[in-house]
Amino acid sequence: MVSNKSKTKTALSMLIVSLVILMYSWFNSNIFITENLEWTGLHYLDSNQLDSYINMAPTNVWRLDTGDLIGTLVDHPWIDSAKISWRWPNRIMVNITECEPIAQIPTPAGWILMDGEGKLLPPTSSTSVYHLPIVNNLDLDSAEQIRSTARVMKSIPRSLHESISEWNVQTRTFIDSSGTEILMGQAVELGEKFRLLEQILNDLAQKNAKAKKIDLRVPRNPVVTIL
């Protein structure tokens, strides 16, 4: 004869098994299926581009390999980092930190862009327009020249971003939006040279004058040639 204790133990075991089956069925139900990712932090890329890049099939959020997803995302040339968060019950939020282009470079195959670390980026689309300084005569096979150019472009103060229109790598010369030639020389004392340039341009603006050339190769002895 089965004791009451055994009956209770059997009933409890059946209850636990039933709960496990119920939870398994619930966590694998459609309520936790996500069909798309929700993107934030995008400035240059758009969500359609990233949806196509990831090409994710409908996935249960509990089975999503976030490490693998982040690894795939940071392989994208425009993505510096990515963070993933989950919102009940099936929303997957992906916050993207994009590379920040600081210059554009003409090549025989079309335009490419450069970020502050010297990383070369393809245009995000064939119709994109970037209001960035142009870098001319850059040897794309020279890692040293690319790093040096990125350092120079990254050093441009924010107040001069709209003034600088072109950098010539071979002559180490800027051209500003008014056509003034700015000789920088070697990529040393950049902070001092840019402070001088800001001061000179402000003085010229106050005098309503325009310079043909500003020579900052020796920052302790700048030379300004007035038109």
Which residues lie closer than 8 Å to 210 by C-beta, 6 or more apart? 178, 180, 204, 226, 227
Query: Are 170 and 176 within 8 A, CB to CB?
Result: no
- Domains located in the chain, CATH noted: 29-98 (3.10.20.310), 101-226 (3.40.50.10960)
Return the half-sphere exposure (C-beta side, CA atoms, 13 A cut-off) of residue 179. Answer: 4
Question: Environment class of residue 50 by beta-carbon count within 10 Å: exposed (0-12), middle (13-18) or buried (19+)?
Answer: buried
SS3 33: strand
Confidence at residue 104, expressed as pLDDT on a 0 to 100 scale? 96
Compute the radius of gyration of the chain from its Cα atoms: 29
- Please report, in tens digits, the pLDDT of each residue of the chain (227 residues total): 456 667 677 767 776 776 777 666 666 778 999 999 999 999 999 999 999 999 999 999 999 999 999 999 999 999 999 999 999 999 999 999 999 999 999 999 899 999 999 999 999 886 778 899 999 999 999 999 999 999 999 999 999 999 999 999 999 999 999 999 999 999 999 999 999 999 999 999 999 999 999 999 999 999 999 98
pTM of structure: 0.82
Fill in the amino acid letter for 5. K
